[in-house]
Amino acid sequence: MNQDAPREEWASRSGFLLAAVGSAVGLGNMWRFSYLTAENGGAAFLVLYLGITLLVGLPVLLAEFVLGRGARRGPIGALAHYGGRGWASLGWLFVGTGFLILSYYSVISGWTLRYALTALVRGFPADAGAFFESVATGPASIAWHVGFMAISIAIVRGGVKRGIERTALVLMPLLFVLVVGLALYATTLDGARAGYRFYLEADLGALTDPKVLQAAAGQAFFSLSLGMGAMMTYASYLGQNEHLPNESLVVAIADFGVAFVAGLAVFPLIFALGLQADVGESTVGALFITLPKTFASMGGAGRLVGTLFFVALVVGALTSAISLLEVVVAAAVSGLGWSRHRAATLLGAVIAVLGIPSALSLDTLGFLDQLAGNVFLVFGGLMLALFVGWAMRDPMAEVRPGAEGVAWFGLWRWLLRIPVPIVLAVVLVQSLRALFE
Ligand code: PHE
């Protein structure tokens, strides 16, 4: 394929929407969201997170959609198209961030896949801690990570319509059903009340804690797949008459909704056995040790529910991983003239190798996640807001096609100009401090 070949497009609006929601909804909604909520004051975090999603995340999401659709190129090409050479370097950073995030994201996804299959075939092992040790260390951890990468590569090789869109159309509805079903099931548990209370009761002191703000902003960016060009890349396969403000609102609400409903399942489950003390221990503990402990002790029902829970996670992880890989692949296809097959296979293999340190060390994985989520994505979002808010010539003309009647575009641009950069700059300084303290 060369640069002049007609660009592939989504077959349908719902295909694009489900793919974008698929990118947003992933491990972030269940793994990251639940431990951050537990660590940062329950409902106080939730409220702050919702506020940031709407006031900071949503404007940046719309900005990414606008740039991608208008330029019909991946992030490097899109930023070069609108901003010239200097801004194109931001696109390079995005592609680099794609490599970085997918390298460890795929490691966790590999564990998730193994948990789902183990639960299905043998049930949850009684000693959850020991099982996690054996899953998350050594060659086994590498092998499942590589396996997961292979699946992602196969889908991205299939192309936008036949690979990514088809996968999202089949898997995302399944994920919604599973998450809602799990939350309904959780209402029947003994610990449900205590779980809800912990989840939904606000520790008001947390609202003024800058650490909580920082965690909420990092999480909003990570969860919405913002600040690294994934949404830009997906929008680059759109026709020109899509109502982008509506699309971005749907994606933001769906992403928050799934995280919220997943919390309604996770917290009662954790409290069902009174295992809440375990949760804060490590960032992966809640999902990979505490919950499996709960499932193991719940007998047959636990095995079924646990299997479905991990299947939902695998589905979310996969539809997010393919969007990360697509950023990198789209850049190589349009920038280097590579074929999609070649780009997906070679770059996917490079990412598999880059993930090995994370597969072998939880500390490395945790560090990279902080670095990517709280620093790179936030920095990327800050630069995008500055670009569309101040530098880009006429963003209003670019957002309008397909959304002519919308009156609040002025507000959108104002948010990108002033409040969004201020919040993100504060968060970025905080995050850098926290990283090196
Ligand atoms: N949004 C995904 C999640 O919540 C992760 C992701 C981040 C995907 C950045 C793409 C880009 O799991």
Span from the CA of 337 to the centroid of ligand 1 (angstroms): 26
- 3-class DSSP state of 9: coil
Phi, psi dihedrals of residue 373, rounded to the nearest 5°: -70, -50
Largest CA distance in the chain: 61
pLDDT class of 1 with cuts at 50, 70, 90: very low
Q: Per-residue pLDDT for 338 more than 50?
A: yes
CB distance 94 to 381 below 8 Å: no
Ligand 1 atom closest to residue 321's alpha carbon, by position in its atom list? 8
User: How long, in residues, is the chain?
Assistant: 437
Span from the CA of 345 to the centroid of ligand 1 (angstroms): 21
CB distance 336 to 199 below 8 Å: no
Distance CA 197, CA 217 (A): 24
Summarize the confidence of residues 339-357 as an average pLDDT: 98
Which of the residue ranges 85-94, 204-213, 239-248 would you say has the lowest mean pLDDT? 204-213
> Which residues form ligand 1's pocket by a CB distance below 6 Å?
23-24, 26-29, 101, 222-223, 225, 228, 230, 320, 323-324
Residues 388-424 have pLDDT tens digits of 999 999 999 999 999 998 989 999 999 999 999 999 9
Phi, psi dihedrals of residue 393, rounded to the nearest 5°: -65, -60
pLDDT at site 282: 62
Residue from 384, 28, 17 nearest 168 by CA? 17
CB distance 99 to 328 below 8 Å: yes
Phi, psi dihedrals of residue 123, rounded to the nearest 5°: 90, 170
Residue nearest to atom 9 of ligand 1 (CA): 225
Span from the CA of 132 to the centroid of ligand 1 (angstroms): 23
Amino acid symbol at 341 = H
Distance CA 369, CA 170 (A): 29
pLDDT at site 437: 78
* Dihedral class, residue 209 (left if φ above 0, else alpha if ψ from -120 to 50, else beta): beta
Mutate to test the pocket of ligand 1, among 27, 64, 105 (most ligand atoms within 8 A of CB): 105
Residue nearest to atom 11 of ligand 1 (CA): 225
Span from the CA of 217 to the centroid of ligand 1 (angstroms): 14
Helices first, then strands: H and E counts in the chain: 25, 0
Rg (CA), the chain: 21
Distance CA 324, CA 307 (A): 26
Terminal-to-terminal C-alpha distance of the chain: 47
CB contact set of 64 (below 8 Å; sequence gap of 6+): 226, 229, 231, 232, 235, 384
Span from the CA of 23 to the centroid of ligand 1 (angstroms): 6
Summarize the confidence of residues 156-171 as an average pLDDT: 98
Which of the residue ranges 210-224, 273-287, 349-363 would you say has the lowest mean pLDDT? 273-287
pLDDT class of 6 with cuts at 50, 70, 90: confident
Label each residue of 280-326 as H, E or C.
CCCCCHHHHHHHHHHHHHCHHHHHHHHHHHHHHHHHHHHHHHHHHHH
Distance CA 181, CA 189 (A): 13
CB distance 29 to 316 below 8 Å: yes
Ligand 1 atom closest to residue 29's alpha carbon, by position in its atom list? 4
Residue nearest to atom 7 of ligand 1 (CA): 225
Span from the CA of 300 to the centroid of ligand 1 (angstroms): 33
Span from the CA of 224 to the centroid of ligand 1 (angstroms): 6
Residue nearest to atom 10 of ligand 1 (CA): 225
CB contact set of 410 (below 8 Å; sequence gap of 6+): none
Ligand 1 atom closest to residue 320's alpha carbon, by position in its atom list? 8
CB distance 52 to 217 below 8 Å: yes
Task: For 405-421, give one letter per residue: b (16+ CB within 10 A) or e.
Answer: eeeeeeebbebbbeebb
Q: Indicate the CATH number for domain 13-436.
A: 1.10.4160.10
Residue from 292, 242, 300 nearest 270 by CA? 292
Span from the CA of 28 to the centroid of ligand 1 (angstroms): 6
CB distance 175 to 389 below 8 Å: no
Summarize the confidence of residues 342-368 as an average pLDDT: 97
Q: Per-residue pLDDT for 166 more than 80?
A: yes
Residue from 156, 92, 90 nearest 320 by CA? 156
Task: For 63-89, give one letter per residue: b (16+ CB within 10 A) or e.
Answer: bbbbbbbbbbbbbbbbbbbbbeeebbe
Q: Is 248 exposed, middle or buried (0-12, 13-18, 19+ CB in 10 A)?
A: buried
Mutate to test the pocket of ligand 1, among 164, 172, 225 (most ligand atoms within 8 A of CB): 225
Summarize the confidence of residues 42-61 as an average pLDDT: 95
Mutate to test the pocket of ligand 1, among 109, 171, 179, 323 (most ligand atoms within 8 A of CB): 323
Distance CA 143, CA 158 (A): 23
**Residue carrying structure tokens 């959304």:** 403
pTM recorded for the entire structure: 0.96
Residue nearest to atom 6 of ligand 1 (CA): 225
Span from the CA of 48 to the centroid of ligand 1 (angstroms): 19
Both tokens of 108, joined, read: 């966790």
Span from the CA of 179 to the centroid of ligand 1 (angstroms): 18
Ligand 1 atom closest to residue 24's alpha carbon, by position in its atom list? 1
Span from the CA of 101 to the centroid of ligand 1 (angstroms): 8
pLDDT class of 436 with cuts at 50, 70, 90: confident
pLDDT at site 69: 97
CB distance 413 to 63 below 8 Å: no
Q: Alpha carbon of 274 to those of 37, 267, 350, 392: distances in Å?
A: 17, 10, 43, 53
